[in-house]
Structure 1
Amino acid sequence: MARVEGEVLPGGAASGHPARLLLLGLLPLVLLAGLVWLFLAKGTDLVGTSGAPPDALLKLQIERVTFASHQILATVRNVGPVEATVAQVMVNEALWQFSVSPEPTIPRLATATVAIPYPWVKGDPVEVKVVTSNGLTFTRNIEVATETPRPGAAAFGLFALLGTYVGVIPVFLGLLWFPFLRRVQERWFDFFLSLTAGLLVFLGVDALAEAFEVAGRLGGPFKGVALIVLGLAGSFLALVAIGRQLRGRDREGARARLALAYFVAVGIGLHNLGEGLAIGAAYALGEVALGAFLVLGFTIHNTTEGLAIVAPVTRDTARLGHLALLGLVAGGPTIVGTWIGAFTYSEPWALLFLSVGAGAIFQVVYEIARFRAADGSVLAGLARPRNLLGLLAGFLIMYATGFLVAR
């Protein structure tokens, strides 16, 4: 047993004086701070200089382009290692007057707004090119120019209606399958749970694909893949912990099945938040048209989400209040997503939302598999022929209806 000044604890640990323990804990941080200062102050003398001039490492990212009356506004972020200065702006290959707020020189990771007085034409493509002081160019193409909605009662109402069309109404339509599912034979219960898992796996993979697409557009400092891992693992583990608290000791009864239904609704809701964000941003920027066919496509595609929500509780008499709340939890975030996407879109936040939604969905799939595994094995339940058929049917349904909402 080790002994140091202070009380001897079991296993050789000693409490020591509080001030001494604090100093021991701070010592590595103090040394690290000194090392950081040394490299910042004397880094060139210690490691020499890079062969490339600092200006060659400049990198700007045009995150968002919006259109107002006779004006284009571009949000530019400096994602390079050093500050960058906006020297020129070109629109459709022509030099144009511009102003930069707060200032033309943008510090690392900061953003600036470039205002360009330009007589853009609705429906025409627009190319915005930013030129730095050392001649590097960074481009953003907008396929269809259209006036960006401004925050206000009318705009909020429009995007709330859009979110209701593509998220809320389809989910509630899917909940109407509840009476049908209650009347199917018992042996088909596992089939519909597996169908639910197939639907959710497709949604999760789709969310991850969109997340990696956004990560490809992010600058290096944001570490897009790391954000995906953070959101994916964080939401998965958080829901695992919450699930254990909600289920308690009832792992097979009505309470467990209702908790599973809420998990499905939460997972779908987080996915729909990211989906609404993407739709709102695309519609606000003129990258998608709100036509009758698109609304119809989303209605058909997302109606299957309601089926996934009610499948776990088909053995029970679910109250109308629970069904309504399940629908709101799953569909309501679509409205919030369209608001965020239309008015305050940020690609790092979009990436995080998409990965959180994917993690939540995969956790729900795990819960479904574990819930139906007779011998405690996650894979054993899905390996049965009827369950495997349901899983594949879920994939095919989402794949087929996905053609209706291709953007």
Structure 2
Amino acid sequence: MNEVSHIAAADPTAPVGSGKSRAALLWLILPLAALGLAIAWLLVSDPLRNFGNGAPPVESLTFERTILSSDGIRVLVRAGGSEPMTIAQVQVDDAYWQFTQEPAGPLARGATAWIHLPFPWVLGEAHAINIVTNTGATFGHEIAVAVPTPTRDARSLASQALLGVFVGLVPVAIGMMFFPALRGVGRNGMNFLLALTVGLLAFLLVDATAEAFELAAESAALFQGQAMVVLAAAASFLLLMAAGRRDGVPTGLALATFIALGIGLHNLGEGLAIGAAFAAGAAGLGTFLVLGFMLHNITEGIGISAPMLKKRPPLWTFVGLALLAGGPAVIGLWIGSLAYAPQWSALALAVGAGAILQVIVEVTAYLMRSDGRGPAALTAPATTAGLAAGVSFMYMTAMLVKV
């Protein structure tokens, strides 16, 4: 007799399924208990001591943030070594300087600490910081151009908000103003505009992915930057696909909202990068570059409007979509200049890349349905021309903003 038969014979009133549940619970607990015993034995017996050869532990230190003020220089560092590490000395421009560490003491794996240096930095000059641990390992960081870090005052935040409006919100709104002129286009015109949307989104996808991997390489090794980018993008794509298809295939306003969301997430990542560059003194936006950003992003408004050309949405709809697509640039500038870390910027760009990929899939499917010819519509002259125009415009205008 099996276990369930024994249980049933002992208590005829007991449900048969309860025996199976207890057996499943037992087989769930047993491997966990075995794992706990193995870990306890490893910690108590320390079998790795036989492999010791006197070499120091592996140490890793990543610089995540730099703040320059009238009090000197503060850097945020994150440890990533195999054992707790101790910062023994700090050099600035090849000279040893006194420093304070918050919190004090050894840094465990993954822990962060602020290092404060009362160093009289020079505006516009480059400075090199070198941290020495008690094992003699050194970790360097360069301040390319020393400028005061933006402060959390109303004037600074207002200036950044104004820049974010011109970089993200204004061009999207201008692009959406073409909506009345585009209404009433025929099938070929609609195919051109939808393919134009796919083209500009395809460029943003490649751009966001490349920037995400670049930033991930600057983050601490324990974050596993490349894997984080791929997993975050995949999760974003799958979640948005599930949400978008929950009530059927998105069309009209629903599809325009997903396009605005994908562009907004990308603009959030761009805002983070711009804000961080300002905080580090690595970039100075002149009027020419601001105009370049506006031209680069103006097509995004046309892409958002394309799925709604067969309808007559109210004015508040365009306002909401413009805020969704362009508003995150302001938030990104604030976060990037005040609380920047490369792994979070990489994560934001990866999520944006996944959202953009979801929109590309949905817009392509919408193009095939609205045309009526299915996949054959993708090779029509108007479609290929729109795709080429979208990619080319984004590529050419990107030359104005890459420094």
Residue ranges of structure 2 left out of the alignment (5+ in a row): 9-15
What secondary structure, in the 3-state scheme, does the structure 1 residue paired with 2:86 have? strand
* 1:317 and 2:280 matched: no
> For the residues of structure 2 that align with 1:268 and 1:401, how far apart are their CA atoms?
16
Q: 5 Å matches for 1:277-288?
A: 277-288=272-283
Task: Calculate the aligned-residue CA RMSD, in Å.
Answer: 2.3
Counterpart amino acid of 1:53?
A: A
Counterpart amino acid of 2:173?
A: F
Contact 1:370–1:377 under 8 Å retained in 2: no
Deviates more, 1:355-364 or 1:135-144: 135-144
Structure 1 residues 185 and 381: CA distance shift in structure 2, 3 A: closer
> For the residues of structure 1 that align with 2:35 and 2:356, how far apart are their CA atoms?
40
* 1:297 and 2:292 matched: yes
Counterpart amino acid of 1:305?
A: E
CA offsets, 1:344-366, max 9 Å, x none? 11222212111000000011001
Contact 1:370–1:376 under 8 Å retained in 2: no
What secondary structure, in the 3-state scheme, does the structure 2 residue paired with 1:123 have? coil
> For the residues of structure 1 that align with 2:233 and 2:52, how far apart are their CA atoms?
37
Give the corresponding residue for 1:10.
none
> For the residues of structure 2 that align with 1:369 and 1:377, how far apart are their CA atoms?
13
Residue ranges of structure 1 left out of the alignment (5+ in a row): 8-12
> For the residues of structure 1 that align with 2:50 and 2:203, how far apart are their CA atoms?
51
> For the residues of structure 1 that align with 2:93 and 2:372, how far apart are their CA atoms?
62
Give the corresponding residue for 2:11.
none
Contact 2:279–2:337 under 8 Å retained in 1: yes
How far apart are residue 228 of structure 1 and its match?
A: 0.8
How far apart are residue 159 of structure 1 and its match?
A: 1.8
Give me the TM-score of the superposition, normalised by structure 2: 0.91
How far apart are residue 220 of structure 1 and its match?
A: 2.0
> For the residues of structure 2 that align with 1:183 and 1:398, how far apart are their CA atoms?
26
> For the residues of structure 2 that align with 1:405 and 1:378, how far apart are their CA atoms?
38
Give the corresponding residue for 1:53.
55
What secondary structure, in the 3-state scheme, does the structure 2 residue paired with 1:105 have? coil
How far apart are residue 117 of structure 1 and its match?
A: 0.6
Q: 5 Å matches for 1:82-97?
A: 82-97=83-98
Contact 2:73–2:117 under 8 Å retained in 1: yes
> For the residues of structure 2 that align with 1:220 and 1:381, how far apart are their CA atoms?
46
* 1:386 and 2:382 matched: yes
> For the residues of structure 1 that align with 2:135 and 2:117, how far apart are their CA atoms?
21
Give me the TM-score of the superposition, normalised by structure 1: 0.90
Contact 2:296–2:394 under 8 Å retained in 1: yes
> For the residues of structure 2 that align with 1:91 and 1:307, how far apart are their CA atoms?
50
> For the residues of structure 1 that align with 2:378 and 2:30, how far apart are their CA atoms?
53
How far apart are residue 52 of structure 1 and its match?
A: 7.2
Contact 1:70–1:120 under 8 Å retained in 2: no
> For the residues of structure 1 that align with 2:344 and 2:291, how far apart are their CA atoms?
28
Give the corresponding residue for 2:40.
37
Structure 1 residues 54 and 38: CA distance shift in structure 2, 3 A: farther
How far apart are residue 292 of structure 1 and its match?
A: 1.2
How far apart are residue 391 of structure 1 and its match?
A: 1.1
Q: How many percent of aligned residue pairs carry the same amino acid?
A: 44
Deviates more, 1:326-335 or 1:24-33: 24-33
Give the corresponding residue for 1:26.
29
How far apart are residue 265 of structure 1 and its match?
A: 0.3
Q: 5 Å matches for 1:360-375?
A: 360-374=355-369
Give the corresponding residue for 1:267.
262
How far apart are residue 330 of structure 1 and its match?
A: 0.4
Contact 2:3–2:19 under 8 Å retained in 1: no
